[in-house]
């Protein structure tokens, strides 16, 4: 049994517990909250054997194979470092940290300690995400030239979006998915970045549009925000057709069009639970093989995208206390 310990009892921790509950060979072995009542309630709801009232106690549990950091962005660095110092392998929910400085320090500490660490941006680990690259490489849409990705939800009143001390704003919560979507399929050779942003009353970015130009002439247009609903689609356009992804946040269907005619549909596996399981399965594989990072989300990619978001926030004037 591969045993996961979760730090934090919010909705994303609930989703992980719901995901692993039916997954054979995996379990949430322990949960930790700074409030004993919350930990006990979470453990009771998900039939978890151990409930801790401190994060220190959880990371000191010798039976835990992997610690999942499910607290707000603002606390990822502190809690992941706690696990690393205890010699634990770590799965850190996106965004990995508040900024690239923290990301580099965290990854360096993990390497020095000899423990595995990776960013839990679930789309990176999904089989359907890998399928998209395969379809592109097969030349089904000719030469890719333009990519668009959108991800918006109505979240303008959520505390984690509004508060600078929680690393608020749409970028680290939603924009990170569109940036990763572009990175997975168009790479990192960006020669120009142009963006526009709407700030909220607390100084956090509430809606943004980002245009990226690549050295080979490709272009990506990305939009994310917390002020409206939208289709959440990703489109990769080529000289002979285009690929439409139903949801850049959680792809479940990919349609391939050649000369505007539907020529193939690919769906996520029927046995997929929520999609969160793939990052845990990959973590287990890496740990068993003695890897300190996952090739599906290399440390260099995590740091590079954190730097990209740092630059965007600097351009917009969005600051966090830990900057």
Instruction: Give, for all 323 residues of the chain, the pLDDT tens digit.
Output: 999 999 999 999 999 999 999 999 999 999 999 999 999 999 999 999 999 999 999 999 999 999 999 999 999 999 999 999 999 999 999 999 999 999 999 999 999 999 999 999 999 999 999 999 999 999 999 999 999 999 999 999 999 999 999 999 999 999 999 999 999 999 999 999 999 999 999 999 999 999 999 999 999 999 999 999 999 999 999 999 999 999 999 999 999 999 999 999 999 999 999 999 999 999 999 999 999 999 999 999 999 999 999 999 999 999 999 99
What is the value of pTM for the model shown? 0.97
Write the CB contacts of 211 (distance below 8 Å, at least 6 apart in sequence): 193, 194, 195, 219, 220, 221, 222
Q: 41 near 298, Cβ under 8 Å?
A: no
- Residue 42 confidence (pLDDT): 98
Tell the residue number behind the tokens 């921790």, with chain if given. 13
Cα angle vertex 280, ends 274, 282, to 5°? 115
**Cα 242 from Cα 19, distance rounded (Å):** 32
- Residue 306 confidence (pLDDT): 98
- Residue 239 confidence (pLDDT): 98
Which strands sit side by side in the sheet containing 117-120, from one edge to the other? 50-52, 26-32, 2-7, 66-69, 89-93, 117-120
- Residue 209 confidence (pLDDT): 98
- Cβ neighbour number for residue 289 with a 10 Å cutoff: 8
Residues linked to residue 319 through DSSP beta bridges, in sequence order:
none
Residue 204 tokens, joined: 């956090």
**Cα 244 from Cα 233, distance rounded (Å):** 7
Write the CB contacts of 17 (distance below 8 Å, at least 6 apart in sequence): 6, 28, 31, 42, 45, 46, 48
- Residue 313 confidence (pLDDT): 98
E-state strands within 174-233:
190-199, 205-214, 219-225
- Residue 77 confidence (pLDDT): 98
- Residue 140 confidence (pLDDT): 97
Residue 160 tokens, joined: 């984690």
Which strands sit side by side in the sheet containing 234-238, from one edge to the other? 190-199, 205-214, 219-225, 144-152, 234-238, 241-245, 253-258, 261-267
Cα–Cα separations (whole angstroms), residue 204 to 168, 193, 316: 6, 20, 9
- Cβ neighbour number for residue 287 with a 10 Å cutoff: 16
Give the CA radius of gyration of the chain. 20
Sign, Cα dihedral of 125, 128, 131, 136 = negative
Helices marked H in 187-298? 277-288
- Residue 233 confidence (pLDDT): 98
Tell me the domain boundaries of the chain.
Answer: 2-121+275-303, 127-267
Q: What is the CATH topology of the domain spanning 127-267?
A: Dihydrodipicolinate Reductase; domain 2 (3.30.360)
Sign, Cα dihedral of 173, 313, 119, 103 = negative
Helix (H, G, I), strand (E, B) or coil at 119: strand
305 closest CA partner among 116, 107, 139, 127: 107
- Residue 53 confidence (pLDDT): 96
Q: In CATH, what number does 2-121+275-303 get?
A: 3.40.50.720
- Cβ neighbour number for residue 199 with a 10 Å cutoff: 15
- Residue 235 confidence (pLDDT): 98
């Amino acid at each position: 049994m591969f045993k996961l310990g979760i730090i934090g009892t919010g909705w994303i921790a609930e989703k992980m517990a719901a995901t692993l509950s039916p997954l054979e060979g995996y379990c949430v072995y322990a949960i930790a909250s700074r409030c004993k009542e919350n930990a006990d309630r979470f453990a009771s709801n998900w039939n978890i054997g151990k409930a801790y009232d401190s994060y220190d106690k959880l990371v000191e549990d010798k039976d835990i194979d992997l610690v999942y950091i499910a607290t707000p962005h603002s606390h990822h660095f502190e809690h992941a470092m706690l696990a690393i110092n205890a010699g634990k392998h770590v799965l850190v929910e996106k965004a990995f940290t508040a900024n690239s400085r923290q990301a580099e320090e965290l990854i360096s500490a993990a390497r020095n300690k000899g423990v595995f660490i990776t960013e839990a941006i679930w789309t990176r680990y999904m089989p359907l995400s890998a399928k998209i690259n395969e379809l592109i490489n097969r030349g089904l849409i000719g030469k890719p030239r333009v990519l668009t990705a959108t991800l918006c939800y109505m979240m303008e009143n959520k505390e984690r979006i509004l508060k600078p001390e929680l690393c608020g704003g749409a970028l680290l919560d939603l924009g990170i998915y569109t940036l990763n979507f572009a990175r997975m399929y168009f790479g990192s050779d960006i020669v120009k970045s142009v963006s526009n942003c709407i700030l909220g009353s607390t100084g956090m970015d509430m809606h943004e549009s980002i245009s990226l130009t690549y050295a080979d002439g490709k272009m990506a247009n990305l939009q994310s925000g917390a002020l409206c609903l939208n289709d959440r689609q990703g489109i990769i356009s080529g000289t002979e057709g285009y690929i439409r992804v139903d949801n850049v946040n959680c792809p479940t269907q990919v349609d391939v069009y050649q000369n505007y005619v539907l020529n193939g549909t690919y769906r996520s596996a029927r046995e997929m639970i929520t999609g969160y399981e793939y990052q845990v399965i990959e973590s287990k594989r890496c740990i068993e093989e003695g890897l300190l990072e996952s090739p599906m989300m290399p440390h260099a990619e995590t740091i590079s995208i954190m730097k990209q978001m740092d630059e965007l926030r600097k351009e917009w004037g969005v600051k966090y206390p830990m900057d």
